[in-house]
Amino acid sequence: MDPASIADNRLRVREELQRMALEELRCAKQLTQADIAEMLDVPQSSVSRIGQRADMYLSTLRNFIQAMGGVLQIRAIFPDVGTVVINRFGDDEERPYEVLVRTEGNGTYRLRAVPCSVPGHNGGELLSTRALRVSGLVKVMKALHLPEPQIVAVRENLENAPEAKLGIARGVEGNRVFSVQDLVAAGFEAEASE
């Protein structure tokens, strides 16, 4: 091809990449879900959910794009001012969460993430998982990178009480806190308002 055709072809490829959904973009970059999962240190099922999601946390999208070698930029375009790059999204993204596990009956459990009370942080969204059987509960705890002794301790606590905190285990001092990114990668979603 002549240089003008090559330049035109590159421009059309760039324009097409700009219109792609995350999953299509991942495929175009010749990355597998397993590749992205390894780069993000999350289960492959989380990458699948992220790629199909229409609504997600900006931190999740930013990490996904960074894993593909890109940089997420968000711009607001105003007719009178022009383009403004938005690079601060508030502190909720970095807000720490405590996680509780509750027995729901019929052999199911639900994990609920509650924002920690931290000076300078106001409010925060409640997050939870769907109802899970024991195997699902263990998978979520592993996705949150809890060590095996803590997973065992949480399961033992749930045999004697209807609720247990993640991160509280015999011989462990203090509560374990999690970020929104950790929680979303493990399958937590915003709780529906009642």
Give the pLDDT confidence of 138-190 residue by residue, as tens digits: 999 988 888 888 889 899 999 999 999 886 444 444 457 787 777 888 888 88
Residue 114 sits in the same domain as residue 183: yes
CATH of the domain at 39: 1.10.260.40
Token couple for 51: 């790629």
From 86, 111, 143, the end of a domain falls on 86
Name the domain count of the chain. Answer: 2
Looking at residues 77-98, what average pLDDT do you find? 69
pLDDT at position 171 is 42
> Are the beta carbons of 49 and 37 closer than 8 angstroms?
no
User: Which residue, 69, 86, 103, sits at the end of a domain?
Assistant: 86
Could you tell me if 99 and 180 lie in one domain?
Answer: yes
Distant-in-sequence, close-in-space partners of 98: CB < 8 Å, separation ≥ 6: 113, 114, 116, 165, 166, 167, 175, 176, 177, 178
Q: Looking at residues 10-31, what average pLDDT do you find?
A: 73
| Same structural domain, 103 and 179 | yes
pTM score, two decimals? Answer: 0.51
Examine the domain organization and report whether 45 and 70 are in the same domain: yes
pLDDT of residue 102: 94
For residue 70, the enclosing domain spans 3-86
Say how far apart CA 146 and CA 167 lie, in whole Å: 7
Q: Which of these three, 52, 68, 86, is where a domain ends?
A: 86
* pLDDT of 56 over the 80 cut: no
Confidence category of residue 87, pLDDT binned at 50, 70, 90 = low
- Say yes or no to pLDDT of 101 above 90: yes
The CA-to-CA distance between both ends of the chain, in Å, stands at 61
Cβ atoms of residues 185 and 40 within 8 Å: yes
**pLDDT computed for residue 174 by the predictor:** 46
Does 54 lie in the same domain as 96?
Answer: no
Q: Are strands 97-105 and 82-86 parallel, antiparallel or unpaired?
A: unpaired
Say yes or no: 97 and 185 in one domain.
yes
